[in-house]
Amino acid sequence: MSWFRRGTFALLCAGALSAAPALAQRPAGPGRPADFLDPGFHRGRREALRQLLPAGAAAVIFTAPMRNRANDVSFIFHQNPDLYYLTGYDEPDGVLVLFKEPQTVGGQSGVTEALFVQPRDPKRELWNGRRLGKDGVKQELKLQYVADNKEFAAAGINWDKFGQVLLTELPADVRDDANDPADLFSLVATLRQQAKIPADFDPRVAELHQMISRFGVANADNLRPYLTAQASAQPALAADAYVQAYLKADTKEAREKAVASRPVARIDITTLGQALDQLREVKTPEEIKLLRRAIRISAVGQQEVMKALKPNMGEMEVQGLHEYVYKKYGAEFEGYPSIVGAGANGCILHYETNDKPRIGSDLILMDCGAEYHGYTADVTRTAPPSGKFNPEQKQIYELVLAAQDAAFLACKPGATFRAPHEAAAGVITEGLKKLGIIKEDAEVRRYFPHGTSHYLGLDVHDRGRYGPLAAGNVITVEPGIYIPEGSPCDKKWWNIGVRIEDDVLITPAGWENLSKEAPRTVAEVEAMMAKASALDNFKLPELK
353 pLDDT exceeds 60? yes
Task: Identify the CA nearest to 89 among candidates 374, 329, 287.
Answer: 374
Whether residue 456 sits in one domain with residue 433: yes
| 496 domain residue, yes or no | yes
21 pLDDT exceeds 90? no
Domain of 394, in residue numbers: 282-530
pLDDT digits (tens, 9 = 90+) for 365-392: 999 999 999 999 999 999 999 999 999 9
**Quick one: DSSP state of residue 489?**
S
Domain boundary among 195, 222, 256: 195
12 pLDDT exceeds 50? no
Angle between helices 522-529 and 391-409 (to 10 degrees): 120
Number of Cβ within 10 Å of residue 537's Cβ equals 7
pLDDT band for position 263 (50/70/90)? confident
Q: How many domains does the chain have?
A: 3
pLDDT band for position 29 (50/70/90)? low
321 pLDDT exceeds 70? yes
| 177 domain residue, yes or no | yes
| 273 domain residue, yes or no | no
Instruction: Give the Cα separation of 507 and 516 in Å (integer).
Output: 16
Whether residue 212 sits in one domain with residue 182: no
Task: Identify the CA nearest to 329 among candidates 297, 292, 367, 305.
Answer: 297
The confidence score (pLDDT) of residue 218 equals 87
| 28 domain residue, yes or no | no
| 345 domain residue, yes or no | yes
Q: Which residues of 464-501 are buried (b: 16+ CB within 10 A; e: fewer)?
A: bebeebbbbbbbbbbbbbbbbeebebeeebbbbbbbbb
DSSP 3-state of 307: helix
Whether residue 400 sits in one domain with residue 488: yes
Q: What is the CATH number of the domain that holds 505?
A: 3.90.230.10
Q: Kindly give, in sequence order, each residue whose CB lies less than 8 Å from that of residue 337, ignoring residues fewer than 6 positions away.
A: 352
The confidence score (pLDDT) of residue 525 equals 98
pLDDT digits (tens, 9 = 90+) for 441-450: 999 999 999 9
pLDDT band for position 84 (50/70/90)? very high
Strand partners, 341: 365
Q: What string of H, E and C letters represents the secondary structure of 65-91?
A: CCCEEECCEECCCCCCHHHHHHHCCCC
Radius of gyration of the chain from Cα atoms?
A: 25
Number of Cβ within 10 Å of residue 425's Cβ equals 21
The confidence score (pLDDT) of residue 207 equals 84
| 444 domain residue, yes or no | yes
17 pLDDT exceeds 60? no
As a whole number, the mean pLDDT across the chain is 93
The confidence score (pLDDT) of residue 10 equals 46
Angle between helices 220-233 and 241-248 (to 10 degrees): 130
Task: Identify the CA nearest to 224 among candidates 211, 236, 206, 235.
Answer: 211
| pTM of the shown model | 0.92
Whether residue 444 sits in one domain with residue 298: yes
| 12 domain residue, yes or no | no
Instruction: Give the Cα separation of 112 and 273 in Å (integer).
Output: 19
Whether residue 361 sits in one domain with residue 217: no
| 17 domain residue, yes or no | no
Whether residue 492 sits in one domain with residue 471: yes
Whether residue 167 sits in one domain with residue 83: yes
The confidence score (pLDDT) of residue 2 equals 67
pLDDT digits (tens, 9 = 90+) for 200-211: 888 888 888 888
**Quick one: DSSP state of residue 151?**
G
pLDDT digits (tens, 9 = 90+) for 132-186: 999 999 999 999 999 999 999 999 999 999 999 999 988 888 999 998 999 999 9
pLDDT band for position 15 (50/70/90)? very low
The Cα angle at residue 134 between residues 129 and 136, in degrees rounded to 5: 65
pLDDT digits (tens, 9 = 90+) for 453-486: 999 999 999 999 999 999 999 999 999 999 999 9
